[in-house]
Each structure stands twice: as structure tokens, then as C-alpha cells.
Amino acid sequence: LGLSHLDRLDRTGEVIFKDNFSSSVAGVVEGDYRLDGQVQLICTSIEGEVRGYLPASKALKGNLMDSNAEQDRIRELSQRRQNLLLELRNYEENAKGVSQTNSGMGVIPANTQLQTTLSVRAATEAQKAHVELSISTPNETIIRAVLIFAEGIFEGESHVVHPSVQNLSGCVRVPIIPPKDIPVDLHIKAFVGGRTSTQFHVFEITRQLPRFSMYEVTEDSPAAPAGTVSFSINERPQRVRGRTK
């Protein structure tokens, strides 16, 4: 065993007490070392040195608890400080990139927003009929990738569109073929930035796919049938009307 005795918090592993021996520790037991009815933690070294440790008093336990709470708070604030410093460093790198290039590294105009539209597309020789989800930005920014989460539409409940570098633009079109006539929420995440950006802003938006989104109203009414038929029937007009409704 080692040359030191350590007491740690079982929750965090933090050292709250430390004592060193002149030689290696041979063993640790629990017992009434002083024969006064108080149980102690007894440590023995390989050279025969024996030391006993009493548990902390109630007052000391309270101080330890207060100290532990303070340490937890300090640790939390330190972590927040590190995160803020990292975020500040990223902003500084972005600002430095703006002075070197026109598009910058991840810097986009303040008015950038994600716009979505849904439209029905008829079947063609190359593609089945579908609902086209168009995702676009109103300025010169580009969409690097799009993630769509939707239940019951995509295999694995999600779909990713990642255009090649040559095909990057401010608009991405995604064909959707809903298997049923039910409303579905589309949870969309888009990575937006400049053409030379290596860092991107993540825009999130939710758009609902309507129940009958695969149906489209035709502009031209069908022509009235030209054929007719004449026949005689021995039934009252009301009964005939009821059966033909």
C-alpha cells in the first residue's frame, strides 16, 4: 500500500483529509483503538506504526458540508468561466476571419432567418409524386446541411441532406412522401454560414405537414359527360333519389 492515508467524498472523490506515514501502509481496520467505546479507523504501517482516526464531530461535519457546497459552487463557476472563455475565443477567431475574408468564418448577417415552404409536385418519369419541402435563407448565406426529424415518414425517423461543395446554395429542397394522410411535425435543423465558413450557425424550426398534403386542387374542372341513357322505372322519384346519393 501507499505511504499516505486519504479520506475522500464518496460522491465526488474529492480529498477532504490526508495524512502521511514514514513507511508503507500495511493495513486499515475499524475498531476501538483507545478502548473508550469510540470506533476509530486504524491504520498500521509495515514498520509497526499505528494511528487511529476518529470520525468528524457534528460541528466539523457541518463545516465540511458547507465547505463542500462552496467547493461545488466554485467548481460550477469555474466550468462556466471555461465555457465562456472558449466561446469568446471562437468569437475572436470569427472576427479575425472577417478582417481577412469577405464571408468570414461563421459570421452571418443579423437578419438571417430560415424560411420554409411546402408544395405538391406531380409525378414525372424520374420521380414519384411528392411534397417538396423548400428550406432557404433570404441573403447570400448558404445551407451546408439539413437534418429533419419526423415520426413515421423517414426510415430511422430522421433524414439528412448534405449537398456537395459544388452544389452549395441558399436553398435546399427535400422531397417527402408521407405514407398516410395524417399531420406530422417536421423538426428541422439547418447549418447556415458563408461559402468559405468552417463554423456554422444552427437554425431550428418546426413545420407541420398537413393531413392531406399529397392532394392538390386542380384548376380545370373535368368536362361534363357527353353520354346519356334513358330508361323507365316503376319507382317513386324520392326512392330513386335516395338510392343514387
Q: Which residues contact 109 (CB under 8 A, 6 or more apart)?
A: 139, 141
Q: pLDDT tens digits for 83-139?
A: 899 888 888 776 665 555 544 456 788 888 889 999 888 888 888 888 899 999 988
Q: Tell me what pLDDT residue 96 has.
A: 65
Q: pLDDT tens digits for 11-22?
A: 666 666 778 888
Which stretch of DSSP H or E encloses residue 109?
Answer: none
CB-CB contact of 185 with 155 (8 Å): no
Q: Cα(190)–Cα(205) distance, rounded to whole angstroms? A: 9
Q: Tell me what pLDDT residue 98 has.
A: 54
Strand order in the sheet with 171-176: 115-121, 130-136, 171-176
- The strand pairing partners of 17, in sequence order, are 7
Q: Tell me what pLDDT residue 190 has.
A: 93
Q: Tell me what pLDDT residue 242 has.
A: 80
CB-CB contact of 40 with 48 (8 Å): no
Q: Tell me what pLDDT residue 191 has.
A: 93
Q: pLDDT > 90: what percent of the chain?
A: 15
Nearest Cα to 136, choosing from 188, 200, 94?
Answer: 188
**Which cell numbers in the block locate residue 157?**
425517423
Average pLDDT for residues 39-48, to the nearest whole number?
Answer: 89
CB-CB contact of 23 with 3 (8 Å): yes
Q: pLDDT tens digits for 66-78?
A: 666 777 788 888 8
Q: Which residues contact 8 (CB under 8 A, 6 or more apart)?
A: 14, 15, 16
Cell 422531397: give the residue. Answer: 175
Q: Cα(184)–Cα(206) distance, rounded to whole angstroms? A: 10
